[in-house]
Amino acid sequence: MAAAAVPIGRSVSVKVPATSANLGPGFDTLGLALSLYDELEVTTRHEPGATVTVTGVGAGEVPTDASNLVVQAIAFTFDRYGVELPGLFLLANNRIPHGRGMGSSGAAIVAGVMAAKGLLEGIVELDSHALLSIATDMEGHPDNVAPALFGGLTIAWTSESGPQHKKLIVHRGVTPLVCVPEATMSTALARSLRPESVPHEDAIFNVSRSALLIAALIQSPELLLAATEDRLHQNYRASAMPDTTSLVEELRAQGLAAVVSGAGPSILVLCSDPAQRLAAAEIVAAHEGTPWQSLMLAVDFKGATVILHPAEASA
């Protein structure tokens, strides 16, 4: 039996947080949701295809038709469940910087998957495992999509039954600062700079720091500096983003837990209190070279949300 069609005129609103992946030692495993959001409205229509209106980040740059990543994620989800995709009108208000290591592509995929969840309400029910599985299939790695979907600090891994996650609540004293440069960084390029294998002692080093980082983030923020040491990926990528490397080193020399955010070139500073974050922002402002925008964010604990709006009488 064919799946029921989605009603024409059905409309949903979606909100998705930015993320920072890796957090230093937790390469491809740890991610943190941050209080900076892309917002999306999607409405079904009779006319086939998709029309996308973008405001904010990416306006005039990202595709505004069916090749848009959000539309692709909606279509991918519908196809997964054998439901015919109706015509779509999307209004996207983007705030997450693109190409800066803050999970913009993961957020776009999650926005599409969540929009599909709302549009398919009453036809197909998507639980948390299905949402993570679909988003990971599109993104390739669960470490960015997991925190975007579920919020907080997430540990992501893959088992025989697919991608898995564990959400943890971050200590209230942890105060994030994200430093965003004008330059962008290709995730593919960043990944290409990492070697296929690393020394045994470096692997052990990162295992210990990753375990310590969980403790620091949920219980003991005073351990954040030691817990964010890394030998698996940041040093190998340093030559591709010298300004990022220089500022990370300067911040860490001042006792601040600074790491490359995702694939970079943005920097995440995990401060143990608001006063430390202000001190970090002052160091960033005085740093010579490339200007940086300092974003004083909170940890997002909710993750992505979707609201299905009541149908219009004329729909």
Taking each helix axis from N to C end, the angle separating 104-119 and 69-80, rounded to the nearest 10 degrees, works out to 40
Percent helix, strand, coil in the chain, to 5, is 35, 25, 40
Q: Is 208 annotated as a binding residue?
A: no
Q: Which residue has the tokens 């837990």?
A: 257
Six-digit token string for 268: 């995440």
Q: Is 101 annotated as a binding residue?
A: yes
Which letter does DSSP use for residue 55 in this model? E
Select from 97, 104, 109 the least CA-distant residue to 139: 109
Q: Is 98 annotated as a binding residue?
A: yes
Q: Is 100 annotated as a binding residue?
A: yes
- Please state the φ and ψ torsions of residue 17, each to the nearest 5 degrees: -85, 155
Residue 135 contacts by C-beta under 8 Å, 6 or more apart in sequence? 73, 106, 109, 110, 113, 142, 145, 148, 149
Q: Is 10 annotated as a binding residue?
A: no
Q: Is 13 annotated as a binding residue?
A: no
Q: Are 10 and 308 in contact (CB under 8 A)?
A: yes
CA distance 60 to 76: 24
Q: Is 103 annotated as a binding residue?
A: yes
Which letter does DSSP use for residue 238 in this model? G
Residue 64, CA atoms < 13 Å, CB-side half-sphere = 12
Cα torsion 79, 96, 63, 11 to 10°: value is 50
Q: Which residues are known binding-site members for ATP?
A: 97-107
Binding residues: 97-107
